[in-house]
Structures are given as structure tokens and as C-alpha cells.
Amino acid sequence: MGKFSSKRNKVLELFRKQAAYTVKAAQLLAELAAAEPESRGALREALHQVENDADDATHELTRHVSQAFVLSHDREDLIALSEQLDECTDLIDEAGDNILLYRLGALPEELHQLIKIINRCCEITKESSKGISAISDKARNYWLEINQLENQGDVIYRKFVARLFDSEINALDVMRLKFVADTLEAAIDAFEHLATTVEIIAIKES
């Protein structure tokens, strides 16, 4: 029993480590989005370093799960969850990259709102053991909160795109802003995918 508990705790520790990098990435994205354009380069480098660290954490968890004989949950499920969380971090990093790549100035309020939603998704994923850290009967609550956030993000995104195409902004700027909005929406969708997988595993193992 002690050996099983030790293996389980190691998996949870690695998930929390991975989730902590996702939180840090989202925080840096918010700082980058709010910064003056000339200050964004250093924040972009910091964000990219966090994404690299998150990749290392993902590989560490995958190695542990692949080599362990005793695990708290199905091996493939644990690897899938880790890969999905890594995808969330990758998309956050991509959004920061796009803000610089497309040379955006001050961002529209809607993009800041989407980034706030991403930060909230990260926080509840890391903080709550009902989410990725411990699959339990509370997993549905985690999924519901993420789903509500995704719905909010979807409304903001659709209204923003409609406003963009109805504005007098030149076509190139419309496309630049939409590319960034698309990546932010994709990041929120990735969290919903993660939460759905958590719920499916919880149901399967109940």
C-alpha cells in the first residue's frame, strides 16, 4: 500500500509541477499583452523559457509513467492528460509569439478578457485536486467551471471578430488581430478538452 501511495504521489507531484508552468506562462502572457511594444521582447523570451521548462516537465512525467509498474490510473490516460496540458502551455506561448510577430500595439479589451479567462483556467487546473491532480468524483465540477469559462470566451471571441470585420480597420490589421484572437480561443478550447478528458476518466474509474 505504501509503495502504491508513493507512486501515486509522484505522479501528482509531476502534474502539479507541469501545471505550475502553465500558470506562469499565462501570467507572463498577461504581462506581455499589457506591456508597451518595446518592452515585450524580454517578456516573450521569458515566456518561451517557461514553455521550454514545461516541455521538460512533460517529458519527465511521461518517462515516469512509462517506467512505473504501479500507477494510480491507467498509463495511457495519464500520458494523454499530460500531453493535453502541454498543448495548453504551447498555445499560450504561441499567442505571446503572435503578439510580437504581428507587431501589435495596444491590444483591444476583448483580447485582454480572453487572456484573463486563460489565466483562470490555469489557476483552477493547478489549485484544484478535483481537476488534473487527482481524478475524483469532483471532476465534473472542474469540467463545469472550465466549460463555463469556455462559453464566456466563445461569446467574447465571436463578438470581437464580428466587430473587427465591421470596423474601418485596414484588412491587414484585421487579420493580425484575428490571428492572435484565434490562438487565444484555441488555448481556452484546449483547457475544455483537458477538462473533458478528466471527467471521462473519472466516470470510467467510478
**DSSP class of 160:** H
Average pLDDT, stretch 33-44? Answer: 96
pLDDT over 90, % of the chain: 63
- Given a cut of 60, whether residue 7 has pLDDT beyond it is no
Average pLDDT, stretch 50-73? Answer: 81
**Which of the four pLDDT bands, split at 50, 70 and 90, describes residue 2?**
very low
Global pTM exceeds 0.75: yes
Helix, strand, coil distribution of the chain in percent, nearest 5: 85, 0, 15
What's the confidence (pLDDT) of residue 45? 97
Q: For 116, how many CA atoms within 13 A lie in the half-sphere containing its CB? A: 9
What's the confidence (pLDDT) of residue 130? 45
199/19: higher pLDDT = 19
What's the confidence (pLDDT) of residue 14? 83
**Which of the four pLDDT bands, split at 50, 70 and 90, describes residue 178?**
very high
**Which of the four pLDDT bands, split at 50, 70 and 90, describes residue 198?**
confident
**DSSP class of 129:** I
- Given a cut of 80, whether residue 33 has pLDDT beyond it is yes
Distance CA 42, CA 21 (A): 18
Mean pLDDT (the chain, rounded): 87
- Given a cut of 50, whether residue 77 has pLDDT beyond it is yes
